[in-house]
Structure 1
């Protein structure tokens, strides 16, 4: 038992959960970057098309 009253099993469960959350956080960060780049490209395309129409 740790000094905080957690069993070794509970500590292990929490470490696994933390590892999973860290992995998901990194995946979402990369996905966010991808969407940001796509959004910029789409905005540039809209601006270009607006110039053609105007």
Structure 2
């Protein structure tokens, strides 16, 4: 990437974030974001990472 986070086309650079939150017990939230337009293109959440 060479720290160039301004892609010129959709879906050329996709980033993800995996975060754990505690709601009575630990759950995870994972987001996939297209850096071209900062749109969330996918997500997953649940108590297990296989959800």
TM-score (norm 2): 0.22
What TM-score do the two structures reach when normalised by structure 1?
0.21
Whose helix proportion is higher, 1 or 2?
1
Larger Rg: 1
Higher relative CO (Cα under 8 Å, sequence separation at least 6) belongs to 2
Q: Which has the higher strand share?
A: 2
